Amino acid sequence: MTDFRALHQPGNPFILGNAWDVGSARMLVALGARAIATSSAGYAFTRGLPDGGQVGRTDAIAHARDLADHLSVPVSADLEDGYGPDPADCAETVELAALAGLAGCCIEDVTPNGAPYDFDLSVARMDAAVKAARRANHDFVFCARADGVMHGTYDLDEAIRRLQAFEAVGADVLYCPMPETIEGLTRLCASVTAPVNALAAGPWTQTSRDEFAAAGVARISLGSALARATHQVIRDAAQDMFGAGDFTRLGGIGSGEVDDYLTAGSK
């Protein structure tokens, strides 16, 4: 299996394909993904739930394990805020993720409603998560997230302060989704030595891999962007069908091609 840690090369980013079920994961692997991550939102959508703290820890880790059991590439999990406010909650979440055979995970510094945890508590939470990752019986890549910029609850300076503190306690990868500008992302990457993850979603879908590379990014994740793009296809086709009786959007790829991708992406 690919060495997940070795994929993280600042200035030469790999694309971490966020999948929401085994089928989407296998297709991504068949089409070039060298590692897969879960998407908390994407998986919630499959359960008929909105994004944000709607799926519990047990189900989220079981979902990630299901992907890992059916793939030949590393799987990392989006584990939201670690499923609890305390450092011990984060530690337990990482321990369970490692026991599930995952290659890594991410934990955010915000609550399910988007409010940031206090700075000192945030650092303590990430410290506990890192220590749990180091206790794993295999190499486990822990990614610490500073999500306040995306939620509009703190600025880039505070994100950098937090990421530097998360790096100081040993986080392997650092992640601040959705800074306002490429200059801000470049500044963020230059402010730390650990690999940085960037999110290709929203306005950042207009940024190329080469531009992310020039900013110093090591990993590009999709979050729920691909899941949302899939739901857009469903919406558009449904509006045409039920509104105008038009089925032309259903002219998708053939089942044989899909079958080939699912086979090629299997374990």
- Does some domain include residue 253? no
pLDDT digits (tens, 9 = 90+) for 218-229: 999 999 999 999
pLDDT confidence of 25, banded at 50, 70, 90?
A: very high
| Full-model pTM | 0.97
Residue 237, domain member (yes or no):
no
Whether 251 is in a domain gets the answer no
- With respect to residue 21, please indicate whether it lies within any of the assigned structural domains: yes
Average pLDDT rounded to a whole number, residues 109-130: 98
Q: Residue 125 is part of which domain span?
A: 4-227
Within a domain: residue 259? no
What are the pLDDT digits (tens) for 100-112?
A: 999 999 999 999 9
**Quick check: is 264 in a domain?**
no
Tell me the CATH number at 41.
3.20.20.60
Q: Is residue 242 part of a domain?
A: no
**Contact between residue 79 and residue 57 where contact means Cβ atoms under 8 Å apart:** yes
Q: Is position 248 within any domain?
A: no
* Total tally of structural domains belonging to the chain: 1
